[in-house]
Amino acid sequence: MLYSKLAKPVLFRMDPEDCHHLVIGGMSIAQKVPGIPSLLRTMYGVERMPELETELFGMHFPLPIGLAAGLDKNAEAVDGFSSIGFGFIEVGTVTPKAQPGNEQPRLFRLPPDDGLINRMGFNNDGTEEMRQNMRRRRVRTIPVAVNIGKNKVTPNEQAHEDYVACIRALYDEGDFFAVNISSPNTPDLRALQHGDELKLLLDAVRSEMDAQGAKRGQPAKPVLVKIAPDMTDEQLEYTVDTIHASGISGIIATNTTLGRVGLTHQHASEAGGLSGKPLKELSTRIIRRVYSQTDGQLPIIGSGGIFDAEDAYDKICAGASLVEIYTALIYKGPEVLRELNRGLLERLRRDGFRNLSEAVGSGHR
């Protein structure tokens, strides 16, 4: 209520990217003040719900709702976001070298559609800046994933070198990693989802993760691949088969879409990736297909269009073990996390599930 009545009307009068920087910068400063993380937990934290706790990838997730990549690009506000009810966080996308991204304006709200269009282009400060930010963390209550990408100037045939460089620089900082090959805003990036380039990339990523784990005398940390929602059925089948065969830990489904079906706002014609409610059914369909194709053997994190508990539950029943939000946080504020988690708990109890894991993929049974 505090967000929707007070903060949102002010923020939505600002330029979207200026608003983004204000929120991240403000959270970054606030989290360093003694007592602020505790205050955030009091204001927005979600109470412990044992039925929603999940063990996945050898990690404990206290809640199933995470923050998708793209909001905290440089891991500046991890302590703040860790204190408002998320079960995990993705930071990034980060590239080996800092880059400015695409020209502005590049972020657009579509309020009647509950959507966002962005063509940011992996703007970030590079791996070294992220490493320093991650090392300053004080709140370590939830898993943090590092979402990694390639620099715009790196040709696809050398893309694997950028992903490997990110892993080497940030291996000690992330609890797990997400390979972003599905953003529509870096030229030709999505081509990495197909053909020999995908196998080469995943082999290089898997080998580096194994090597980094071996150096520390530990099993390799988990690594997932984030896929696009716009593939043909044949492309999706090939991509999922290749990911599954590579030994990758799981899939994040999905990134933003290039589709524009059903939009009403004047910004609908802007180039870039669309997130929010218009992506909901498409991403859920992809989750359902991935789960079916892999017989539920490849864990899925569902992302795209989650605005209420029913949206999250649909993705879990379709096969997602965890889910992420981004656009809903912009439109509904941090209060949405209590709404989503409490709503999920109600649905589990309604349907007779003792815990979240029992509901995963239940729509196939």
Question: Reduced to 3 states, what is the DSSP secondary structure of residue 236?
Answer: helix
Question: Reduced to 3 states, what is the DSSP secondary structure of residue 214?
Answer: helix
Beta strand 115-118 with 107-110: parallel, antiparallel or unpaired? Answer: antiparallel
Determine which one of 82, 83, 183, 321 is catalytic.
183
- Measured over the CA atoms of residue 154, residue 157, residue 160 and residue 161, the dihedral's sign is negative
- Measured over the CA atoms of residue 295, residue 357, residue 66 and residue 200, the dihedral's sign is negative
Radius of gyration of the chain (CA): 19
- Neighbour-count burial of 183, counting CB atoms closer than 10 A to its CB (0-12 exposed, 13-18 middle, 19+ buried): buried
Largest CA distance in the chain: 55
> What is the enclosing helix (H) or strand (E) of 26?
helix 16-30
CB 297 within 8 A of CB 364: no
CB 229 within 8 A of CB 252: no
Peptide bond before residue 254 is cis, with ω within 30 degrees of 0: yes
Length reported for the chain:
365
183 is a catalytic site residue: yes
Catalytic positions are 183
